[in-house]
């Protein structure tokens, strides 16, 4: 039997008479592209940055300049501007400041008050790290030279400057003017000494900035601002020893309300009202609240009493700068100037000093009352005129002599026009028109043809007033010289309540 040997199976079968098919060949692999190493990334450039700290000092107020804008402008790129605000300590901080040169300026309303352009200085930051910069306003001496120059030659080297603003926060309507009074002592060639209280004026710029040179240092001035129908109250301001007084004056148009008298002896009053408010505290010489102090806003008809905690609150006040006064038994009267803004509550603090101890010497009537004042009392009892003694004058609490005369029978006070001086007038005996009365100062005829009594004497020095509107009842020694009535003014130290 034939044996067969099994052959391994072929991958591709073979058939007789047929063509042989070769298995397909795989294409040769494409050559791999050459690998090029990627370039190494360049290291980032390190720009040096600095941290800038600084302060802005107000050399006029000798205090930090708060809420001032400090601007930094790169000299190589003026569009690169950075601004920072000073804090309550007058300090500022700028992080990440590039190295380079900068122009640095300060913007603040104090510069407007002082009439200064924004000062620019160049600061160079040369490397990273901390940089300290100190900025400030010019010195008082520099300010006085810049503001007054040689205009104050022959006068006191002082100045009063600031801004006239409206209580509404709106631009001024028309040109603003500021009136200032302060005492001047005149020594004549014969050795006589006299005092006068002239009025001086300063016209404000369109933005309200004003400056009045020649104000005596360490004096107390009385001032008032007005523009169109707006005006401030009359306020008292002390001039610093440095000679430079900087303060704004706020003006407004108050609403006048006639108050009818509540008794036959009470005179009609005119109250000034608005939308201002004040909340304040009265304290004694050691800072403790003072309860029961009488608080008034002279010239407005507003008054009240400090309550628990020494607090007082007034509303419906006329806008503008006014004096707020406090009086209490055992303390010297104290006045502070306060600005009332429309619809805004203002804070005020009044610190009162105790009366200085006085020796109770032997009291002699002849020492307290001069012969002239004794005659004043005698004429007052006889009648025939209108009399104001020191008690009534204290109650009126006027800052100017013209304010004393307001509401006096037979007298008309005409508000100041372009010069700001109020005029005290009477009706002539013929019954037509008004005229300036004859003025007697301490018994001596003193011509005041324009009726502007504020230049004659300070209201605080007036001790008694006699007003004679009818020539038939005028004492012969005070006879009118133009048929227009007479006003007699006596000066001296007023008596205290316990001396009457």
CB 233 within 8 A of CB 317: no
- End-to-end, the C-alpha distance of the chain in Å comes to 174
At residue 357, the pLDDT reads 58
Q: What is 49-136's CATH topology?
A: Immunoglobulin-like (2.60.40)
**Burial grade of 375 (CB within 10 A; 0-12, 13-18, 19 or more):** middle
Instruction: Take residue 12 and report the two structure tokens written for it.
Output: 């591709």
Residue 468 and residue 475: Cα distance in Å, rounded?
A: 9
What is the 3-state secondary structure of the chain?
CCCCCCCCCCCCCCCCCCCCCCCCCCCCCCCCCCCCCCCCCCCCCCCCEEEEEEEEEECCCCEECCCCEEEEEECCEEEEEEEEECCCCCEEEEEEEECEEEEEEEECHHHHHCCCCCCEEEEEECCCEEEEEEEECCCHHHHHHHHHCCCCCCCCCCEEEEEEEECCCCCCCCCCEEEEECCEEEECCCCCEEEECCEEEEECCCCCEEEEECCCCCCEEEEEEEECCEECCCEEEECCCCCEEECCEEEECCEEEEECCCCCCCCCEEEEECCEEEEEEEECCCCCECCCCEEEECCCCEEEECCHHHEEEEEEECCEEEEEEEECCCECCEEEEEEECCCCEEEEEEECCECCCCCCCCCCHHHHCCHHHHHHHHHHHHCCCEEECHHHHHHHCCCCHHHHCCCCCCEEEECCCCCCCCEEEEECCCCCCEECCEEEECCEECCCCCCCHHHCCCHHHEEEEEEECCHHHCCHHHCCCCCCCEEEEEECCCCCHHHC
Name the nearest CA neighbour of 80 among 109, 55, 101.
Answer: 101
pTM of the model: 0.65
Provide CB contacts within 8 A for 45, sequence distance 6+.
none
Q: CA–CA separation, 408 vs 465, rounded Å?
A: 11
CATH homologous superfamily of 365-499: TonB-dependent receptor, plug domain (2.170.130.10)
**Options 1.10.3720.10, 3.60.15.10, 2.60.40.1120, 3.30.70.890; CATH of 255-351:** 2.60.40.1120
- Let me know: does 211 contact 246? Beta carbons within 8 Å: no
Best CATH choice for the domain 140-251 from the list 1.25.40.10, 2.60.40.10, 3.40.1050.10, 1.10.3720.10: 2.60.40.10
Rounded distance between C-alpha atoms, residue 296 and residue 414, angstroms: 25
For the chain of 500 residues, list the mean pLDDT of each consecutive stretch of 10: 35 36 57 62 70 92 92 93 94 93 91 79 90 90 83 69 94 90 74 71 93 91 91 92 93 88 68 94 93 90 92 96 92 93 96 71 47 82 86 82 86 72 79 81 81 82 88 80 84 67
Enumerate the domain spans of the chain. Answer: 49-136, 140-251, 255-351, 365-499
CA distances from 387 to 226, 309, 392, 408, 426 (A): 32, 40, 9, 9, 16
Token output for 439: 């003025």
DSSP-derived pairing of the beta strands 423-427 and 434-435? antiparallel
Query: How many angstroms separate the CA atoms of 96 and 20, rounded?
Result: 85
What phi and psi, each to the nearest 5 degrees, are found at residue 5? Answer: -105, 125
CA distance readout (Å), 79 to 47, 72, 73, 74: 19, 11, 8, 8
Question: Do 140-251 and 365-499 share a fold?
Answer: no
Please state, in angstroms and rounded to a whole number, the distance separating the CA atoms of residues 211 and 116. 12
Given the structure tokens 């370039």, which residue do they identify?
Answer: 39
Q: Per the structure block, which two tokens stand in for 372?
A: 């002239």
In this predicted structure, what is the pLDDT of residue 61?
A: 84
């Amino acid at each position: 039997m034939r044996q067969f040997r099994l052959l391994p199976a072929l991958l591709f079968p073979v058939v007789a008479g047929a063509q042989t098919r070769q298995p397909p060949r795989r294409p040769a692999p494409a050559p791999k592209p050459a690998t090029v190493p990627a370039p190494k990334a360049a290291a980032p450039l390190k720009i040096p940055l600095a941290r800038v700290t600084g302060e802005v000092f107000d050399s006029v107020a000798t205090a930090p300049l708060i809420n001032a804008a400090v601007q930094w402008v790169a000299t190589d790129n003026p569009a690169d501007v950075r601004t920072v605000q000073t804090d309550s300590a007058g300090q500022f901080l700028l992080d990440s400041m590039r190295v380079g040169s900068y122009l640095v300026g300060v913007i603040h309303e104090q510069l407007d008050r002082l009439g200064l352009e924004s000062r620019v200085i160049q600061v160079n930051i040369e490397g990273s790290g901390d940089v300290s910069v100190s900025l400030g306003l010019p010195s008082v001496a520099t300010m006085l030279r810049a503001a007054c120059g040689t205009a104050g030659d022959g006068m006191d080297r002082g100045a009063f400057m600031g801004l006239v603003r409206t209580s509404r926060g709106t631009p001024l309507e028309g040109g603003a003017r500021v009136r200032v009074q302060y005492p001047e002592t005149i020594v004549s060639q014969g050795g006589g000494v006299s005092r006068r209280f002239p009025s001086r004026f300063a016209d404000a710029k369109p933005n309200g900035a004003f400056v009045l040179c020649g104000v005596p240092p360490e004096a107390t001035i009385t001032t008032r601002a007005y523009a169109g129908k707006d005006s401030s109250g009359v306020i008292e301001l002390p001039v610093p020893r440095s000679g430079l007084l900087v303060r704004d004056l706020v003006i407004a148009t108050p609403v006048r309300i006639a108050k009818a008298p509540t008794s036959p002896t009470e005179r009609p009053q005119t109250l000034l009202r608005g939308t201002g408010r004040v909340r304040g505290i009265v304290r004694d010489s050691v800072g403790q609240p003072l309860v029961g102090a009488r608080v008034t806003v002279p010239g407005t008809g507003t008054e009240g009493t400090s309550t628990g905690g020494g607090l007082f609150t007034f509303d419906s006040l006329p806008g503008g700068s006014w004096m707020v006064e406090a009086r209490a038994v055992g303390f010297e009267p104290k006045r502070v100037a306060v600005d009332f803004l429309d619809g805004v509550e203002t804070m005020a603090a009044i610190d009162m000093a105790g009366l200085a101890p006085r020796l109770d010497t032997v009291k002699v009537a002849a020492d307290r009352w001069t012969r002239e004042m004794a005659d004043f009392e005698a004429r007052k009892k006889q009648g025939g005129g209108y009399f104001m003694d020191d008690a009534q004058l204290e109650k009126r609490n006027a800052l100017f002599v013209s304010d004393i005369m307001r509401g006096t029978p037979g007298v008309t006070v005409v508000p100041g026009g372009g010069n700001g001086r109020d005029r005290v007038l009477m009706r002539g005996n013929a019954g037509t028109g008004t005229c300036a009365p004859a003025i007697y100062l301490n018994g001596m005829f003193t011509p005041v043809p324009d009726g502007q009594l504020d230049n004659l004497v300070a209201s605080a020095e007036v001790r008694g007033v006699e007003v004679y509107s009818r020539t038939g009842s005028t004492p012969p020694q005070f006879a009118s010289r133009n048929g227009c009535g007479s006003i007699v003014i006596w000066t001296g130290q007023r008596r205290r309540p316990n001396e009457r």
